[in-house]
């Protein structure tokens, strides 16, 4: 595990297609019946630690503040952020 300080918290809404297939906006505009797809909003909660962005769940995002010391570990390929203490 490595430690770091949360520099910034960010929230953004991203969009993904309904069925997860490739979305080609130009073809969707030209041929809406064949290529048009509805995009679903997806919430992303992001912590910036040592100039690297990590996506976390809402609970972790709410519990961690800017300036907090956190530990970054990995569970498989996914990063796991744990609150270590406040500086």
Looking at the structure of the chain, the number of domains it has is: 1
Which residues span the domain enclosing 56?
A: 2-86
CA distance 3 to 20: 35
The confidence band for 22, taking pLDDT boundaries of 50, 70 and 90, is: low
pTM of the predicted protein model: 0.71
**What is the reported pLDDT for 51?**
93
Report residue 84 as tokens: 């270590």
Q: What is 33-80 written as a DSSP string?
A: HHH--PEEEEEEEEEEETTEEEEE-HHHHHH--TTEEEEEEEETTEEE
Express each pLDDT in 40-72 by its tens digit.
889 999 999 999 999 999 999 999 999 999 999
24 has pLDDT over 70: no
Give yes or no for a contact between 59 and 74, defined as CB atoms under 8 angstroms apart: no
CATH of the domain at 48: 2.40.50
């Amino acid at each position: 595990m490595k430690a770091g300080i949360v520099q910034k918290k960010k929230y953004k809404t991203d969009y993904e297609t309904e069925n997860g297939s490739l979305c080609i906006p130009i073809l969707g505009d030209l041929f809406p019946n064949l290529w048009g797809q509805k995009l679903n909003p997806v919430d992303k909660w992001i912590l910036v630690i040592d100039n690297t962005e990590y996506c976390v769940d809402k609970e972790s995002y709410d519990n961690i503040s800017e300036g907090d010391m956190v530990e970054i570990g990995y569970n498989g390929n996914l990063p796991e952020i744990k609150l270590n203490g406040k500086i």
